[in-house]
Amino acid sequence: MTVHSTGPYSLIMHLAPGELAPKGRTPLAADDAWTRRVALHAMEANGIGTDGVVEIEAFNGQGGLMIFAALRPEHQQETLFYQFDCLEDLLRLSVRFRRNPPRKSTLTYIDGKYVLSLSAQSREAVRLSYAAGEFGRRLYRPAVFARYLSEHGKVLMRETAAQELTRVFGCQ
């Protein structure tokens, strides 16, 4: 099974006929309930929350089964949170978004980790989400988690963290 994230709330997966056979399925005999279970499991395994309405589309043929799954927009987070174990990982990410950093972002240090909070409304934040998984991990928290961070952590950069990191460390 090949799984690729296509955004912070969606993925695409392909199951070849040989991968379906041990599960008692064929590309043409994969029922909706089974396809849904597989898609939800893949989303959770890839750090994509499944709280809310998940839209799933499946296309089958001789080449296997292709599944597209996405969390509906009204169930997506307003703020994206990414946790980094060390400052070096965060700085490596800043090189990735040096051309067009997200406009609204905050950097907080809490429990020995760095947390970058981004407004999910910007295109830059969605693009950044593709790269952020390489260097840190996505935290699925409600928007009020930002308040928790500010009360229990140390806010290092407020509102323009990604732009400041890019300005200082974004060059190669």
Full residue range of the structural domain in which residue 148 is found: 77-169
Residue 136 sits in the same domain as residue 84: yes
Residue 96 sits in the same domain as residue 39: no
Res 172: pLDDT: 46
Both tokens assigned to 75: 């169930």
Residue 6 sits in the same domain as residue 17: yes
Residue 8 sits in the same domain as residue 68: yes
Phi/psi of residue 72, nearest 5 degrees: -60, 145
Written in H, E and C, the secondary structure of the chain is CEEEEEECCEEEEEECHHHHHHHCCCHHHCCHHHHHHHHHHHHHHCCCCCCCCEEEEEEEECCEEEEEEEECHHHCCCEEEEEECCHHHHHHHHHHCCCCCCCCEEEEEECCEEEEEEECCCHHHHHHHHHHHHHCEEECCCCCHHHHHHHHCEEEECCEHHHHHHHHHCCC
Q: State pLDDT tens for residues 34-66.
A: 888 899 999 888 877 777 778 899 888 888 889
Question: What CATH number should be reported for the domain holding residue 95?
Answer: 3.30.70.1950
- Distance CA(73)–CA(76), nearest Å, equals 5
- Distance CA(79)–CA(100), nearest Å, equals 18
- Distance CA(79)–CA(125), nearest Å, equals 9
Q: State pLDDT tens for residues 103-143.
A: 778 889 999 999 988 877 666 666 666 677 778 888 877 77
Residue 104 sits in the same domain as residue 162: yes
- Distance CA(124)–CA(146), nearest Å, equals 19
Q: State pLDDT tens for residues 28-40.
A: 777 788 888 899 9
The answer, yes or no, to whether residue 145 has pLDDT greater than 90, is no
- Final residue in a domain of this structure, among 41, 74, 107: 74
Res 123: pLDDT: 63
- Distance CA(64)–CA(68), nearest Å, equals 13
Give me the number of domains the chain comprises. Answer: 2
Mean pLDDT of the chain: 80
Phi/psi of residue 57, nearest 5 degrees: -125, 135
Please compute, for residue 77, the number of CA atoms within 13 A of its CA located in the half-sphere on the CB side.
28
